[in-house]
């Protein structure tokens, strides 16, 4: 006991005992991302062992070369499937990483080839959770893009509310913690008020990547403005303006509420509400890029208003209508770059585009897993205001050259 007290005094309040040996289970669709997270986590903990950084570095299972569990998702030609663990999860702190948007896998059915859908990925997640329950010490799920999480409200009691049902299902199965990045609407957590849910933001990595890649971007009110493409995303854009101390602009959709077409009121006019953007860089903020039509419409309007370079920033790039929309925007000089994270599957075609910048979230995810396992507070990891302020105050080469040329 005295040894533990002495070590606590030596290592400080940050020295927490691991909840249990880490076990990572990744869906085969996002195996590349999971392998990279595993490598970063293994290196981080190996360094701690070498430096004796805390009193628990020699705990059983603390430092390993491979935290990924041997497992397999088996599918049958009927469309059914099962999950099989190749080793025991008993006593482990399990972290399941899933990408419900991955569309890079298929399997043969009786009637032909079937591309694995978001519904299939969710069903696989349930299989994995069910297989671990009763054996693992704790089960955590990291679901960067929230399955069926786009709904802001229940529009009609004649419509399904799949996101709430998904959350309730995971909670009832016994999932201890759910980590989801930049959800479309954080109020979805109200469906399971007693569930431990963390919602990390991607702002820090997106902003730091932007500054690393485009050193001439000046984050001051005279040079740059943050813009939300619609009023629904205003809260997200306000968070960027708050930490970057930049002015805010919003596009407002003036709808004709006397008419309804395909279940929606048509838009009469897009109005820009904000300061003059003439000769200013624009950070166009959204939670996801779906077809790209919203980014295209608003960026072209901003160019008409005299904006200089436009950067489209979003945690998730889906590009459901292909890449031609942004190929055209880039070719005509409307959009300078599009920044999205690697939290979801990206095609090789997308990664090869000159206008696309991949924001690496691997170290961030590894750090979150490490912190949760060590029972550390993840508040500072999730609310990265101080880190953003620090990185924006750094002197960059692009700024030096700009000042030299003035």
> Comparing 391 with 30, which gets the higher pLDDT?
30
CA-CA-CA-CA torsion sign (297, 298, 300, 301): positive
Over the stretch 277-287, which tens digit does the pLDDT of each residue have? 999 999 999 99
Long-range contacts of residues 115-120, Cβ cutoff 8 Å, at least 24 apart: 116/29, 118/147, 118/148
Say yes or no to pLDDT of 5 above 50.
no
> Comparing 363 with 159, which gets the higher pLDDT?
363
Q: Minimum mean pLDDT among 60-64, 136-140, 270-274, 333-337: which range? A: 270-274
CATH number of 2-198: 3.40.50.2020
Residue 111, pLDDT score? 86
Give the pLDDT band (50/70/90) at residue 6.
Answer: very low
Q: How far is the C-alpha of 250 from the C-alpha of 294, rounded, in Å?
A: 13
Say yes or no to pLDDT of 265 above 80.
no
Residue 399, pLDDT score? 44
Give the pLDDT band (50/70/90) at residue 397.
Answer: very low
Burial class (CB in 10 A: 0-12, 13-18, 19+), 405: exposed
Q: What is the mean pLDDT of the chain?
A: 87
Over the stretch 338-348, which tens digit does the pLDDT of each residue have? 999 999 999 99
Say yes or no to pLDDT of 398 above 60.
no
Most confident option among 33-47, 253-267, 268-282: 33-47
Q: H or E element: which one contains 212? A: helix 203-213
Residue 375, pLDDT score? 87
Over the stretch 49-108, which tens digit does the pLDDT of each residue have? 999 988 999 998 999 999 999 999 998 999 899 999 999 999 999 999 999 999 888 888
> Comparing 256 with 225, which gets the higher pLDDT?
225
Between β-strands 267-273 and 248-255, what pairing exists: parallel, antiparallel or unpaired? antiparallel
Give the pLDDT band (50/70/90) at residue 268.
Answer: low
Nearest to 334 by CA among 357, 358, 356, 301: 301
Same topology for domains 2-198 and 203-342+377-405, yes or no?
A: yes
Rounded percentage of the chain residues whose pLDDT exceeds 90: 67
Give the pLDDT band (50/70/90) at residue 337.
Answer: very high
Domain boundaries along the sequence of the chain = 2-198, 203-342+377-405
Over the stretch 145-196, which tens digit does the pLDDT of each residue have? 999 988 656 666 777 889 999 999 999 999 999 999 999 889 899 999 999 9
Give the pLDDT band (50/70/90) at residue 14.
Answer: low
Chain position carrying tokens 């730091």: 208
CB contact at 8 A, 23 and 67: yes
Residue 22, pLDDT score? 97
Give the pLDDT band (50/70/90) at residue 388.
Answer: low
The DSSP output letter for 191 is: G
Residues 203-342+377-405, CATH architecture: 3-Layer(aba) Sandwich (3.40)
Residue 95 has which token pair? 């972290």
Over the stretch 200-223, which tens digit does the pLDDT of each residue have? 999 999 999 999 999 889 999 999
């Amino acid at each position: 006991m005295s040894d533990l007290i002495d070590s606590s005094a030596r290592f400080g309040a940050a020295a927490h005992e691991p909840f249990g040996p880490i076990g990572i289970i990744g869906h085969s669709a996002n195996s590349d991302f999971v392998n990279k997270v595993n490598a970063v986590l293994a290196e981080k903990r190996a360094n701690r062992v070498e430096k004796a950084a805390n009193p628990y570095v020699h705990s059983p299972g603390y430092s390993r070369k491979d935290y990924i569990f041997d497992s397999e998702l088996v599918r049958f030609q009927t469309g059914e499937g099962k999950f099989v663990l190749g080793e025991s999860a008993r006593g482990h702190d399990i972290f399941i990483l899933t990408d419900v948007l991955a569309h890079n896998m298929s399997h043969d059915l009786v009637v032909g080839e079937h591309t694995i859908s978001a519904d299939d990925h969710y069903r696989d997640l349930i299989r994995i959770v069910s297989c671990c329950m009763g054996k693992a010490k704790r089960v955590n799920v990291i679901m960067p893009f929230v399955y069926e999480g786009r709904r802001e409200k229940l529009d009609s009691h004649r419509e399904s509310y799949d996101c709430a049902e998904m959350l309730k299902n995971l909670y009832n199965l016994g999932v201890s913690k759910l980590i989801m990045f930049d959800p479309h609407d954080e109020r979805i957590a109200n469906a399971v008020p007693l569930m431990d849910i963390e919602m990390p933001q991607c702002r820090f990595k997106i902003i730091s990547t932007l500054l690393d890649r485009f050193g001439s971007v000046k984050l001051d009110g005279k040079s740059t403005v943050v813009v939300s493409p619609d009023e629904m995303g205003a809260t997200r854009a306000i968070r960027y303006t708050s930490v970057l101390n930049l002015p805010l602009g919003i596009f407002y959709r003036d709808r004709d509420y006397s008419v309804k077409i395909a279940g929606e009121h048509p838009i009469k006019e897009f109005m820009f509400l904000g300061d003059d953007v003439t000769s200013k860089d624009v950070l166009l903020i959204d939670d996801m890029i779906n077809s790209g039509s919203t980014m295209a419409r608003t960026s072209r309007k901003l160019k008409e208003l005299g904006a200089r370079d436009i950067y489209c920033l979003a945690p998730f790039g889906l590009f459901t209508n292909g890449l031609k929309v942004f190929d055209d925007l880039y070719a005509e000089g409307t959009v300078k770059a599009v920044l999205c994270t690697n939290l979801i599957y990206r095609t090789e075609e997308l990664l090869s585009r000159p206008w696309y910048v991949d924001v690496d979230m691997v170290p961030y995810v590894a750090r979150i897993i490490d912190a949760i396992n060590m029972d550390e507070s993840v508040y500072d990891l999730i609310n990265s205001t101080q880190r953003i302020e620090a990185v924006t105050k750094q002197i960059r080469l692009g700024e030096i050259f700009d000042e030299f040329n003035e």
